[in-house]
Structure 1
Amino acid sequence: MTTAKDLFIIALDLKHSVGQGDLSLALAGAELIDLIGAGAVAVDGESIVPGGRVTLDDRFMDEAAAGITRQAPYERIEDWLWRRGRDLSAAYQAALEESGELKAQRSGRLPFGSERVELVDTPARRRAADRWKEKDPVLAALVSVVGIDDERSDDEPGLDDEAVTTVVAAVHDAVMELEAVRQRRTIENAAFANLWRGP
């Protein structure tokens, strides 16, 4: 199990509304944290420095490791999050649907109602739930960044790894930047609509 997969499962399980862009950035951050844990990369300031070549028993982690810039100048964490995070949430959803861990559910009584997905009870889902219940600090921090865990207590354990803290902070900044872009677009669209309506 990876932190990113756990994060995706928890985000679905808690049934909060999370933007795909926000979740994709957090998933990229989770992958990076696991790469740090595996010794595949290290963090030097704001840059991702390649470590030793490691074999990771996960398709997404292998893709993430293969995408590491191995020559100076090394990639900045923020740039990695935006590049790796592009459509990552949709990719995780497709992979879980393909493996039978997610199934489509129709809402409403009509057969052509809007479709949503629901998690199947699997060992992976139970492991993610256990990690969440145990208040795993990395998972809790990433879930908080995407705005899910507003009901959790303040006495949870903090992050004790500087590199992980740096990555979580970068994910937070990227999510805030994405929200600012959304707000700017909303304002611009409203102004454009008013322009067409006229006085």
Structure 2
Amino acid sequence: MTTARDLAIVALGAAPDRPVERGDLSLVLAGAELFDLVEAGALVLDGEHIVPSAQAPTGDRLLDEAAGKLVRQEPYESVSDWLWRRGRDLSSTYIEDFERVGLTARPRGRHVPLRTSRSELVDSAARCHAEQRWTAGEPVLTALGAAAGLGDEPAPDTQALTDETTSTVLAAVGDAVMELEAVRRRREIEDAAFDNVWRGY
């Protein structure tokens, strides 16, 4: 399993009353894929730019898909640009893939409304592995989870997160999530202003 898949599993297992914002999760998953691709030898970072290596199968369908979307011509893509481009609806892509491979299932029952039913994790070795990593406080996974808004996790071991690649990716992920939150707040204000105008205030 990859860090991205483990993170998606942990997010799906979050309490229903504390759901993770899908946009935030999508950005963070794109960051997690960068860590997985670095580990697979598919890329290196040159400052804030992603420099692809020779493409080779990673053994993971979504990670291979991510590797295939790397910009392979100079000027290479920045980490920030990658997060926004690759991260578009990425959480949905992972959820759909989990359903396809049987890691999740839709709730069954006569009284479960189709539109509100959400995929639920099934017991699996992949789920056990992801939860063990999360419980153990694996530094990169924990830091990514914190960026996605997964609460009550232990503080990351910052001594394990000092290498340049890790710092660069985590900083870009944090900035992207904050930018997305700012966009949400601005839209809420604009919507509220529109509603007030509509009502004659």
Give the TM-score normalised by structure 2: 0.91
Cα distance, 1:106–1:196 mapped onto 2, change above 3 Å: farther
Aligned to 1:81: 83
**Residue 80 of structure 1: SS of its match in structure 2?**
helix
Q: Which residues in structure 2 correspond to 1:104-143 (within 5 Å)?
A: 104-105=106-107, 110-112=111-113, 114-143=116-145
**Residue 115 of structure 1: SS of its match in structure 2?**
coil
Q: Is residue 162 from structure 1 mapped to residue 157 from structure 2 by the alignment?
A: no
Aligned to 2:41: 39
Q: Which residues in structure 2 correspond to 1:176-195 (within 5 Å)?
A: 176-195=178-197
**For each residue in 1:124-160, what CA deviation from the matched residue of structure 2 results, as whole angstroms up to 9, or x when unmatched?**
0011111112211110010000111335246675414
CA contact (8 A) 1:22 1:175 kept: yes
Count of residues in Structure 1 that have an aligned counterpart in Structure 2:
198
Q: Which residues in structure 2 correspond to 1:145-156 (within 5 Å)?
A: 145-153=147-155
Bigger CA drift: 98-107 or 131-140?
Answer: 98-107
Bigger CA drift: 90-99 or 146-155?
Answer: 146-155
Q: Which runs of 5+ in 2 are unaligned?
A: none
Q: Is residue 12 from structure 1 mapped to residue 16 from structure 2 by the alignment?
A: no
Inter-partner Cα distance in structure 2 for 1:67 and 1:153 = 33
Inter-partner Cα distance in structure 2 for 1:153 and 1:177 = 23
AA aligned opposite 1:8: A
Q: Which runs of 5+ in 1 are unaligned?
A: none
Inter-partner Cα distance in structure 2 for 1:89 and 1:24 = 5
Inter-partner Cα distance in structure 2 for 1:165 and 1:130 = 24
AA aligned opposite 2:199: R
C-alpha RMSD of matched pairs (Å): 1.9
Bigger CA drift: 43-52 or 147-156?
Answer: 147-156
Give the TM-score normalised by structure 1: 0.92
**Residue 143 of structure 2: SS of its match in structure 1?**
helix
Cα distance, 1:85–1:154 mapped onto 2, change above 3 Å: closer
What's the CA shift for 1:37? 1.3
Cα distance, 1:182–1:101 mapped onto 2, change above 3 Å: same
Q: Which runs of 4+ in 1 moved over 3 A?
A: 153-158
Inter-partner Cα distance in structure 1 for 2:156 and 2:120 = 30
Aligned to 1:65: 67
**For each residue in 1:47-89, what CA deviation from the matched residue of structure 2 results, as whole angstroms up to 9, or x when unmatched?**
1111233321011111111111111100011110111011110
